[in-house]
Structures are given as C-alpha cells and as structure tokens.
Amino acid sequence: MADYQLRRSLLYVPGNMPSMLQNIPLFHCDGVIIDLEDAVPLSEKDAARILVKRFLENYTERNKEVLVRINPLDSKWGLDDLRVVLPALPDGVRLPKADTPEIVERLDTLLTEFEEELELDIGRFRILPSIESARGILNATGIASTSKRVFALAFGAEDYTASMEIERTKGGEELFNARTRVLWAARAAGIQAIDTIFADVNDMEGLRRETELIKRLGYTGKSLVNPRQIDVVHEVFAPKQEEIDYALQVIDAIKRARLMGTGVISLGGRMIDAPVVKRAVRVLRTAHAHGLVDSAVEDEVVYGAE
C-alpha cells in the first residue's frame, strides 16, 4: 500500500507558528513537513519543538502524512527534536543535509531505539532524506537504499545551489543534472522522488512550468512553501481522462482474470504485467484524490484476497 501513497504535495509548515499549525488539517495537500530547522529562529527551537509535540498530540484525526523536518543530527538540536517530537507520533522525519548513507544510517539506528523505547513497531517512523549538496548528489544511490524506512528522496535545490556557489534561476538549467541524478537514485531503489520547493509564491505560472517539467522527468511530488501552491501542483499531477479510462480497463481485466482463475492477465491482446498494474493503480488513486473517479482501488483487487 505504501508504495502507492500519493505524495504530490508536501507542504512546509513552520513549527513555531501556532496559527499555521492549527490549519494543517484543513489543507488539501498529501502531506505536511512541519519544520523545526530553517524556518525556526535559534531562540525559538525549544518552544517550537514543544508546540509541534502538542499539536501532533491533539491532531488525532490524521488526514494526511505528517513529517517533521528536524535539525541536522550533527547540530545541537537534532537529537532533542527527535526526543520531544517522536512520542507524538509523526509519520516520519525529513532529514536535512543527508549527504552520506552513514548519516541516514545513524538516524535509522536512533529511530529504532526510540521505537523500542516507545514500544512501537520497528520501522514505523519513516525517513525522507534531503539531498541538498554536491556530496549528497554523488551519494544519492547509496542513500536511497540505506534503510527500509527511506520511502523517497527529496531534492533540495536551495541548499544545493548554495553548496555549488551558484544562483538558482527560474529556468532551472543549473539543476538539471542534480535533479535527474536524485531521480535515478530513487527510481533505482524503487522509491519515490520529491522535487524541491518553488520559492516565488506569487508566480503560479512559473510553479506550473516547473511542476510540469518534474512530472515529465518522473518525480512523484514536490515540496511546497505556501498552501496556495497546492492546487497548481495537483492540477499538473491530475491524470488525463484517457489515462483514467485505460487504468480502469486494466483493473477490470484483473478482476475478470481473477474470476476466471487465470494468472495471466491480458487486455486487448496485450499482457498486463506488474508495472502496468502498478501504474494503473497509481493513476486511479491520483484520480480518486482529484475526485475524478468515485472510489479508490482496494488492495484486494490488485493482490487478491488471502
């Protein structure tokens, strides 16, 4: 199921702003990244941590994936962030400056320790490493397969361009190689790829162009800095009607094959194999999230009942 989790839109929410935290349940993004790192001034690190913990404890009717961006593990706040926030049960951690597999492994170990202490299933807390330096780019392949907790790689262009001592432009040519490399690393490991933020919140056309580009490349979603960006990203990721029609035919073919008790599934004379099914399921779940089909695909339909 997790393989198909929609992550078109991961919205950053500053961890030190109660007025914004309280609106998290209301936004239609697929996930939020509550930020304890860059958005929070040094003088408010403690307060933000407690605020986020309280918010998560009261956010009982979870309606989206909740990640927390902690401070880097080699900073003096990273470990405390985990200690305070994990008992309030976020779904995972966005790890900044994930430059090497070792850094991710270290977080993996820490998470296991917390899960043991909190008596949770091992592997419950997931990891979204941020690839945001030249080093991270070169190590992306290793990072993607460090841990089963890693469900996606996130590309962070702001820090990346800083580490390269270059300017980020709206055209994004300077990002192209890095962006592709993160994507390959993620796809090679069979996980999702989340693109960087688009900082100009008033330029919806620019955001649309960039989102169209990353969707074409193969990214599954994007990090966002403002709720106003959600609709544009979702529009770009909305499946086209012919994609939906084909996906529905695929699912129909699976159902028919199962009824007939045959393992081989074909549609219009073409064999339907796993990637086609996977793609159809993703299209339909996206379509459902957009309200384009009435019901999402049940796992049972895809995998059969046990």
Partner 1 sequence: MVRNSLGRLIPENFAGKRLVPYRDPWSLRPDRAMATRGLRRVNPGSNKLLANLHDAITAAGLKDGMTISTHHSLRNGDFLLNQVVRTIDSLGIRDIKIASSSIHPVHAELIPYIRKGVITGLECGVNGLIGELISKGELDCPVIIRSHGGRARALITGDVPVDVAFIAAPCCDEYGNMNGFFGPSACGSLGYAMVDALHAGCVVAVTDNLVPYPATPISIPQTLVDYVAQVETLGDPAKIVSTTTRITTDPIGLLIAKYAAMVIEASGCLTDGFSFQTGSGGISLAVADQVRTLMRKGKIRGSFGCGGITGYFVEMLEEGLFKTLFDVQCFDLRAVESIGRNPDHLEISADMYANPFNAGAVVNRLDCVILGATEVDTDFNVNVNTESNGYLLHNTGGHSDTAAGAKLAIIVAPSIRGRLPIIRDAVTTVTTPGETVDVIVTERGIVVNDRHPGLKEELTRRRAPVKDIRELRDEICRVTGEPRPLEFEDEVVGLVEYRDGSIIDVIRKVKE
Interacting residues toward partner 1 by CB under 8 A:
22-23, 26-27, 226-228, 231, 291
Of 157 and 293, which CB lies nearer to partner 1 in the complex structure? 293
The total number of residues shown for the chain amounts to 306
Q: To the nearest whole angstrom, how small is the minimum distance from the Cβ of residue 292 to partner 1?
A: 11
Q: To the nearest whole angstrom, how small is the minimum distance from the Cβ of residue 289 to partner 1?
A: 10
Other beta carbons within 10 angstroms of residue 135's beta carbon come to 14
H or E stretch at 10: strand 9-14
Q: CA 207, CA 199: separation in Å to the nearest integer?
A: 9
Q: To the nearest whole angstrom, how small is the minimum distance from the Cβ of residue 78 to partner 1?
A: 29
End-to-end CA distance of the chain: 15
Other beta carbons within 10 angstroms of residue 112's beta carbon come to 17
Q: To the nearest whole angstrom, how small is the minimum distance from the Cβ of residue 297 to partner 1?
A: 17
* Torsion angle, alpha carbons of 119, 121, 123, 128, to 10: -70
Q: To the nearest whole angstrom, how small is the minimum distance from the Cβ of residue 228 to partner 1?
A: 6
Of 22 and 109, which CB lies nearer to partner 1 in the complex structure? 22
Of 126 and 234, which CB lies nearer to partner 1 in the complex structure? 234
Of 26 and 274, which CB lies nearer to partner 1 in the complex structure? 26
Reference 284, options 276, 273, 274, 295; nearest CA is: 295
Of 22 and 262, which CB lies nearer to partner 1 in the complex structure? 22
Of 59 and 155, which CB lies nearer to partner 1 in the complex structure? 59
Q: To the nearest whole angstrom, how small is the minimum distance from the Cβ of residue 154 to partner 1?
A: 22
Q: CA 204, CA 91: separation in Å to the nearest integer?
A: 30
Of 43 and 202, which CB lies nearer to partner 1 in the complex structure? 202
Q: To the nearest whole angstrom, how small is the minimum distance from the Cβ of residue 26 to partner 1?
A: 5
The contacts found for 26-31 with CB under 8 angstroms, 24 or more apart, are 27/64, 27/227, 27/230, 28/230, 28/231, 28/234, 29/64, 29/224, 29/227, 29/230, 30/5, 30/6, 30/64, 30/65, 30/221, 30/289, 31/7, 31/64, 31/65, 31/66, 31/67, 31/91
